[in-house]
Amino acid sequence: MLVSLRDVCSIAEQNNMAIAAVNSASLEAIRAAVEVAEETGYPIIIQHAEGHEDLIPLKYVAPIVTSLAERSSAQICINLDHCEHLAYAQRALDEGFTGVMFDGSYLPYEQNVEYSYRAHQMCQEYGAGLECELGSMGSREGGESDEGGTAAEAGAIYTDPDQAGEFIRDTGLDILACSFGTVHGIYKGEPHLNYDVLREIRKRVHNVPLVMHGGSGVSDEDYHKAIDAGIRKVNYYTYGVKYAGEAACKMADEKRAAKSDAIVYWHDFTPVAYESFRNTFEHIVRVFANGSKPLNVH
């Protein structure tokens, strides 16, 4: 069933867990996300990033993901990720998205508040949930996945716990994306997450659900620590597409090694990618459950 961003995050809150929010720029990833949610019994968030418009335009992806969610036995939220234009958010809401992340983190604070509040008013009309970002991750989510590095290299600015309460009050957001050491893209070395910042934000915002962006490439131990500090949604993209890409290349290499003039068809890649996404998503969904029991009763 199609559920709102608010609803999945309150499920996460009640169970001290996080919901996997997977960016799904291909049918293989979408299929894997739906099936993992159905088979594990945990909710999932399928995201479309405005920056992925070139990879898979909203007009194609929206009818697919919303109708699959409506027909599914699992609780599935369809969220617009890193939206920078309110007109694009309007299109997604018209298409049936149940959540929007408005990203004004690149704007001066007052403008971030102003645009985020306008996004809140739009979401209210549709009963959709709103996520906004305070602080900055530095590198941005896009079609490329080779940004990243360390938070400092990416130019990240940690979320200011003192500002967080007022930002929530003035924007009307439902969940808050925080910058505390994760980056979008590939990590150079171990990610260093600042749990003190996270715990301080959580204390000041009276348990408003928090969101980890740049969630792929983080260790299972760090996921659990972040969940215990208040993370309720983990955005996951780069490492999932990296693993699927590596598996597809390996398959093609092996096919050509076995027979030098072997033809590698496009349809050879899709089942390999699907299998890889499935394994990756199943792993993170179970880790993010943080010991809580499956929530769907079949």
Q: Is 136 in the site for ligand 13P (CB under 6 A)?
A: no
Q: Which residue among 15, 171, 235, 276 contacts ligand 13P (CB under 6 A)? A: 235
The enclosing H or E element of 204 equals helix 195-204
CA–CA separation, 6 and 203 (whole Å): 20
Q: Is 213 in the site for ligand 13P (CB under 6 A)?
A: yes
Q: Which residues are catalytic?
A: 81
| Contact between 30 and 24 (Cβ < 8 Å) | yes
What's the token pair of residue 276? Answer: 């890889």
CA–CA separation, 76 and 98 (whole Å): 9
Q: Is 15 in the site for ligand 13P (CB under 6 A)?
A: no
Beta bridge partners of 134: 178
Q: How far is the CB of 147 from ligand 13P (least distance, A)?
A: 8
Q: Is 184 in the site for ligand 13P (CB under 6 A)?
A: yes
Binding string, 78-117, against ligand 13P, x = CB under 6 A? ---xx-----------------------------------
What's the token pair of residue 113? Answer: 């508040």
Q: Which residue among 4, 112, 136, 238 contacts ligand 13P (CB under 6 A)? A: 238
CA–CA separation, 206 and 164 (whole Å): 10
Q: How far is the CB of 36 from ligand 13P (least distance, A)?
A: 16
Q: Is 230 in the site for ligand 13P (CB under 6 A)?
A: no
Q: Which residue among 159, 179, 216, 276 contacts ligand 13P (CB under 6 A)? A: 216
Amino acid at 209: P
What's the token pair of residue 69? Answer: 């969610």
The enclosing H or E element of 63 equals helix 58-71
Q: Is 215 in the site for ligand 13P (CB under 6 A)?
A: yes
Q: How far from the centroid of its chain's Cα atoms is residue 58's Cα?
A: 16
Q: How far is the CB of 101 from ligand 13P (least distance, A)?
A: 7
Nearer to ligand 13P, 80 or 113 (CB): 80
Q: Is 223 in the site for ligand 13P (CB under 6 A)?
A: no
What's the token pair of residue 165? Answer: 């309460």
The enclosing H or E element of 114 equals helix 109-126
Chain residues that interact with ligand 13P, rule: CB under 6 A: 23, 81-82, 141, 184-185, 213-216, 235-238
